[in-house]
Structure formats: structure tokens, C-alpha cells
């Protein structure tokens, strides 16, 4: 489940992350653009007004296997393995993110989910995780609400709107299935509380 990033990322300095590193760039690139396209890449890096990286377009790291289907915008959305690992790292423990089987048996302290009394995974926890992962992949060295053209608060709110603003029975089923899937994944790695 763990991919090796090449070239390796500098752990204590993020200036080589984000759009300065091919792997992190592919992950945070908006699905409207193709990072492997040299012209798209140049336009993104030069802040071309038609290629701005904003919170209004989902990044590839939100999609299962980084695969976006323009014919079905929600297929694989919020099902990326890295997003799940980040969730486990934040809410259940760093060791659970590294483990295929879940929480470490030597775990002696209460994890964040337990301290918060989380009984299931909710949209806000997924959105919070996505914001933290997006920031971790970026080249921004310290937290800020707006990083260049990318607004983290808007990104968070867009995700919450996605989960809450359902208009059809089909959309409701898709959201319910997605949350059930997240909770199924959590049950494979250890209980929240």
C-alpha cells in the first residue's frame, strides 16, 4: 500500500514539494489539468490565468488510484489510499497508517478519535484529513488559509457541501455508500472508540 516517492522528499523542508516535485505535483494537480502534459505543467507553474490551482477543482489525490473519470465525476472520489492512510495517521495513530492490519498492539495511549468520542467517520473528518494532506503535499512551509491561489477553507467547505448538498435519491445513495465504505475501511484497521 505504501508507494516510494522518487526522488525522495526532503523531510524537514517543503520547498521541493508541491509543484516543484513530479510526484507531489501529480497528486495536487486539479483534475481539470493533466500534469503529464508539458504545456499544462508550464501553465500551472507560471500561474497562467486559465490554469490557476484553486479549491474549485478536486485534486487527483482525492481519487482512487488517482484516476478521474470526466463522465462520472464521483467515481473513486474520496477513495484514495493515501487519503485513508492520512486519516489513520491523524485519527487512530501513525502506526495504524503504516500497518495493513490496523492499530499496533503496543498502543497504550488513547488516540485522537477516541479522545473526540468518534463512533464513525463523518464528512468533516474526511474533509479535515484532505485539507491536512493537501497542505502536507504542498510546498508551503507554514500553515496559511490561502496558499497562492488555493484557499484551504474553501476547499474544506466545498467538500462539506459535496457531502451535504444532495438533491436526488441517487446522490443520497452515493453519499451513504461512500460513508459506509469509509467506515468499513476503518473497521478493517481497528475501532475508532
- If you average pLDDT over residues 87-112, what whole number do you get? 60
- Which DSSP letter does residue 36 get? T
pTM of the model: 0.84
**Cβ atoms of residues 139 and 20 within 8 Å:** yes
**Confidence at residue 14, expressed as pLDDT on a 0 to 100 scale:** 87
Q: What is the pLDDT of residue 94?
A: 54
Find the range with the poorest average confidence among 27-36, 83-92, 117-126, 142-151: 117-126
Q: How far apart are CA 35 and CA 73, in angstroms?
A: 18
Q: What is the pLDDT of residues 23-80, one digit of tens each?
A: 999 999 999 999 999 999 999 999 999 999 999 999 999 999 999 999 998 999 999 9
pLDDT 10s digits, 133-183: 999 999 998 888 998 999 999 999 999 999 999 989 999 999 999 999 998
Compute the average pLDDT of residues 109-138.
80
- SS3 category, 59: strand
Q: What is the structure's pLDDT at 107?
A: 52
Residues 37/30, Cβ–Cβ less than 8 Å: no
- For the chain, the structural domain boundaries read 18-189
pLDDT at residue number 91:
81
> How far separated are the first and last CA of the chain, in Å rounded?
25
Q: What is the DSSP letter of 30?
A: B
**Integer angstrom CA distances of residue 15 from 24, 74, 129, 132:** 12, 32, 22, 17
H helical segments located in 46-151: 81-91, 94-98, 112-116, 123-137
Query: Which of 35, 61, 52, 34 is closest to 130 using CA atoms?
Result: 61
**3-state class (DSSP) for residue 187:** helix
- Where on the phi/psi map is residue 76: left (φ > 0), alpha (ψ -120 to 50), or beta? left
pLDDT band at 185 (very low <50, low <70, confident <90, very high): confident
The residues facing 30 across adjacent strands are 59
Distance CA 46, CA 38 (A): 12
What's the pLDDT band for 189 if we cut at 50, 70, 90? Answer: low
Greater model confidence, 111 or 164:
164
Amino acid at each position: 500500500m505504501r508507494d516510494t516517492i522518487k526522488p525522495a522528499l526532503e523531510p524537514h523542508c517543503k520547498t521541493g514539494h508541491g509543484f516543484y516535485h513530479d510526484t507531489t505535483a501529480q497528486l495536487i494537480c486539479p483534475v481539470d489539468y493533466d500534469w503529464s502534459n508539458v504545456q499544462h505543467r508550464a501553465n500551472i507553474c507560471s500561474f497562467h490565468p486559465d490554469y490557476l490551482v484553486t479549491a474549485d477543482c478536486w485534486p487527483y489525490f482525492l481519487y482512487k488510484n488517482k484516476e478521474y473519470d470526466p463522465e462520472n465525476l464521483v467515481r473513486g472520489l474520496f477513495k484514495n489510499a493515501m487519503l485513508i492512510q492520512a486519516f489513520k495517521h491523524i485519527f487512530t495513530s501513525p502506526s495504524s497508517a503504516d500497518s495493513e492490519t490496523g492499530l499496533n498492539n503496543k498502543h497504550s495511549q488513547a488516540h485522537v478519535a477516541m479522545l473526540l468520542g468518534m463512533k464513525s467517520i463523518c464528512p468533516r473528518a474526511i474533509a479535515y484529513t484532505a485539507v491536512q494532506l493537501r497542505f502536507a503535499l504542498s510546498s508551503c512551509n507554514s500553515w496559511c488559509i490561502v496558499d497562492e491561489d488555493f484557499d484551504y477553507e474553501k476547499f474544506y467547505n466545498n467538500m462539506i457541501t459535496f457531502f451535504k448538498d444532495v438533491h436526488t435519491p441517487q446522490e443520497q445513495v452515493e453519499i451513504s455508500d461512500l460513508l459506509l465504505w469509509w467506515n468499513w475501511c476503518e473497521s478493517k484497521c481497528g475501532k475508532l472508540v
